[in-house]
Amino acid sequence: KNANKCLEKELVIYDAAEREKAAIERSQIFETMSGKPKETKVIALLGQAGMGKSILVKKICQDWAKGEISQFEFVFWFECKRLNFSGKRYTVRDLLFELFAKPQEKCDEVFRYILHNPEKVLIIFDGFDDFLDYDGLAHCSACTSMKEFHTVKELFAGLLQKKVLHGCTMLITGRPKGAFNQYLFKVDKIVEVIGFSPQQIEEYMTKYFNGTPQPSEKVKLIKDCPFIYSYCYCPLLCRLVCFLCEALHKTGDKEFPITLTTLYLNVFQQKLMGVTLKANIQYITKLNCLAWTGVQNYQNVLIDNLGSKELKEFALKHGFLTPFPINPDGKNEGFGIAFTNFIVQNFFGALHLTLAEDISDKGLVKLISLEQKKKKTQEDRLNTVRRFLVGLLFLEEDRYLNCLSAKNIEKIVIKKQTAVSRYLKKLLQCEPNANKLLELCHCVYEAQDSGLIRYVASKLSSELSFKDTRLNPPDVFVLQYVLRRANKKFSVDLRNTGIDLHGMKEIVKLKNVTSFRASIRDTIQLWETLQKLNDCESLRMSVEKYIISPFKAKSLKDIDAIIALVQIHRENTLFPCTDDAPCNESVGIPAVTNLKKLEFALGPVCGQNGFWKLVEVLPEFHSLQHLDLDTLSENKIGDKGVEKLAEVFPNLLKLETLNLSQNNITDTSVEKLANAFPILTSLKTISLYNNCISDSGAENLAKALPLMKTLIELDVKYNKITDVGAQKLTESLKSCPQIKSI
Ligand SMILES: Nc1ncnc2c1ncn2[C@@H]1O[C@H](COP(=O)(O)OP(=O)(O)OP(=O)(O)O)[C@@H](O)[C@H]1O
């Protein structure tokens, strides 16, 4: 019913502090979920390609085997790519026992037990993106009977639609915005796999190089290439980087590649070490073509027979393709075949785009365009291929490319390079959104072309907002790389991007980033880290550049955050007084003293509590010009809250706009409020719309009006004022020539 709505479903982006709190242990994946107790539970385990979903699934199976997930007596684990080739029809029992594992004895009894105890069954479908026929599972005819024979798709639909084995738990892994996205509305819980933390990267590398010569030198070699290191948050890339490092170390090569393209090009060369390229061009060309077709169709499983035994042998031997067992059904052999991972496939796909003569320069731009109206769910999939393509087209040393092609492709490459470069520059003509801008930065980085970088850097808008766009470590790296080369000043919004503290520090320390916004909690954490490191210069800079205006509080958490900020400002904990810097020189936190607009939108449930907390810190916002205590959210802060507000007016002398609409204000507090209004000597607009003010309140307001020399507008619509009150206000207006409307 809500098909369109579910396409919009996206993963939450947590800020660093929230992420720590939201992190769960493996064992917690199956803990309390929404949904009725006896219903089938569906858990989606989402993560970008190479993030370790399949490894995690295997670990879950091991945990279970050790008795650590004791609520399940049975685990059935299916790799989706293995299910594609079964044209055969199966019963539910066949699916479990034939396509996974048969009990060694008493099959009938075991199956009966499963049917009677579905809540003790966990069924895992790993790699949903590898399903070739995944559309319509939520609505297609599904398996409803235990005895009849069905296709694998119908069986899967039966489980997902809760028609068979009702009450079991399903764990389905897939990529965000991938094939499973359309079924997220069926899901009870979503868990995201976010890759390695810096500590985990360290641990992985230590283990990888353990027992090899000079392990710490190797780790240092990688760390000295911050861009390549930034990609190590993705376990698959971390492994590739370690593999290459080990190989280069053996050959005594001390230079590490600096782009993603040269990284994989090096891996590629290592894999083909000792192979005469010219003799194998036909295989590479065919693999390139297969890879690109797969990328276009969002598939990494090869459906067709590869055609040639030699090609298959070549690709398997060098690790570009991987076989996987399937259930032979007469038509297909006992093994399917797929690209080993998404990096291999995207690299070969990009080689195809680079080398193919039948792709014109204009055609190429269309194929990799960022403008295409693709389904929103699929827009990320071309990113890696595009980055590789740009990297390959701009390779300084293109001798290698020539070796990969039967003909001289120099001219073709130059033409394509020019077209792509023109296209990338054109993207800046109308301001690109955050995602496009990031992609542009990645491409520009891969190109390593100083002219292109300078051009892009010069055309960037000076207000850059990445709000609500995820910023992974490599994104942050390419962003700061481009910003650093720009000859202008920037204000950068990093709110709700999931940026880590290291990334924040890198952006903030850029000289031409003159102001930044970020989650208050993360910023405080950054300051505390810098303080611990005794990095006074970075600390001072990051405090000076931080801004929070306009600040919109939507939850109690936001209120707590702003209170924490004010506390640091009041107590001066970041820059404690010393002999060199006595206290009276302290400027506090400029983000607090410069806050101009504050919107309060906690709603009727938390509004009153939230406001009582907020009002305690309001006196610190000396520059506040606009205080909106309505923000269309009916905060209902009530008379007591309003009276407290009136008490802090002497500290808000710059206030020009005060919105107190929809706050349950009665005549009780209006008298105090009206008496305090004249203190606000800059106030121009007051809104008291939709409260409970009656004639006596109106009379108090009327008395105050002539004393409010700057007031231009007063809104008291939708109150309980009758003709009597209206008359008082009207009379008072005679002494208020500056008021334009009531
Ligand atoms: N926790 C881990 N510890 C060590 N290595 C890991 C871990 N997780 C993943 N890896 C490495 O990353 C590689 C990719 O992981 P995996 O195949 O599980 O990714 P995936 O998320 O399933 O990717 P895809 O979406 O492409 O199927 C693994 O082969 C392994 O080398």
CA distance 261 to 348: 11
Q: Is 329 inside any structural domain?
A: yes
pLDDT at 4: 47
Q: Is 741 inside any structural domain?
A: no
Q: Are residues 231 and 357 in the same domain?
A: no
Q: Is 53 in the pocket of ligand 1 (CB under 6 A)?
A: yes
* Closest ligand 1 atom number to CA of residue 54: 18
Q: Is 535 inside any structural domain?
A: yes
Q: Are residues 26 and 89 in the same domain?
A: yes
- How many structural domains compose the chain? 5
Q: Are residues 217 and 298 in the same domain?
A: no
* Closest ligand 1 atom number to CA of residue 51: 21
pLDDT at 186: 84
Cis peptide leading into residue 650 (ω within 30°): no
Q: Which of 390, 410, 426 finishes a domain?
A: 426
Q: Are residues 183 and 36 in the same domain?
A: yes
Centre of ligand 1 from the C-alpha of residue 53, in Å? 6
pLDDT tens for each residue of 276-330: 887 888 899 999 999 999 888 888 887 666 778 889 899 999 999 998 887 655 5
Q: Are residues 248 and 262 in the same domain?
A: no
pLDDT at 1: 29
Q: Are residues 561 and 670 in the same domain?
A: yes
Q: Which of 256, 280, 296 finishes a domain?
A: 256
- ipTM exceeding cut-off 0.90 for this assembly: yes
Q: Dig out the tokens for 368 from the structure.
A: 């990799």
Looking only at the bridges linking them, the beta strands covering 321-325 and 335-339 are antiparallel
| DSSP secondary structure code for residue 263 in this structure | H
Q: Is 414 inside any structural domain?
A: yes
What are the average pLDDT values for consecutive 10-residue runs of the chain, which has 742 residues? 48 85 90 74 94 97 94 94 78 87 87 94 94 78 76 88 91 91 87 94 97 94 96 97 94 88 94 84 91 86 74 92 74 77 95 92 87 55 92 83 76 92 91 92 96 94 94 97 96 95 95 96 95 92 96 96 96 74 68 97 94 97 97 91 96 97 95 96 96 97 96 96 96 93 93
- Nearest residue by C-alpha to atom 28 in ligand 1: 236
* Closest ligand 1 atom number to CA of residue 341: 26
CA distance 554 to 18: 16
| DSSP secondary structure code for residue 692 in this structure | B
Whose tokens are 């699934």? That residue is: 57
pLDDT tens for each residue of 399-417: 677 777 767 778 888 999 9
Strand residue runs (E) in 100-240: 121-126, 169-174, 189-192
3-state secondary structure 291-305: HHHHHHHCCCEECCC
Q: Are residues 328 and 421 in the same domain?
A: yes
Q: Is 213 inside any structural domain?
A: yes
pLDDT at 302: 78
Q: Is 582 inside any structural domain?
A: no
Q: Is 50 in the pocket of ligand 1 (CB under 6 A)?
A: yes
Q: What is the DSSP string of 391-417?
A: HHHT-S-THHHHHTSSS--HHHHHHHH
pLDDT tens for each residue of 26-82: 989 998 766 667 889 999 999 999 999 999 999 999 999 999 999 999 999 999 988
> Nearest 5°: phi and psi at 123?
-115, 125
pLDDT at 333: 61
- Nearest residue by C-alpha to atom 29 in ligand 1: 236
**Ligand 1 pocket mutation pick from 46, 55, 192, 199 by most atoms within 8 angstroms of CB:** 55
Q: Which of 426, 455, 483 finishes a domain?
A: 426
Q: Are residues 142 and 261 in the same domain?
A: no
Centre of ligand 1 from the C-alpha of residue 341, in Å? 10
Q: Are residues 517 and 556 in the same domain?
A: no
Q: Are residues 371 and 314 in the same domain?
A: yes
Centre of ligand 1 from the C-alpha of residue 196, in Å? 11
Query: Domain limits at 215?
Result: 198-256
Q: Are residues 290 and 407 in the same domain?
A: yes
Centre of ligand 1 from the C-alpha of residue 52, in Å? 3
Q: Are residues 168 and 36 in the same domain?
A: yes
> For residue 620, what are the CA distances in angstroms to 21, 659, 683?
30, 19, 18
**Ligand 1 pocket mutation pick from 26, 78, 207, 236 by most atoms within 8 angstroms of CB:** 236
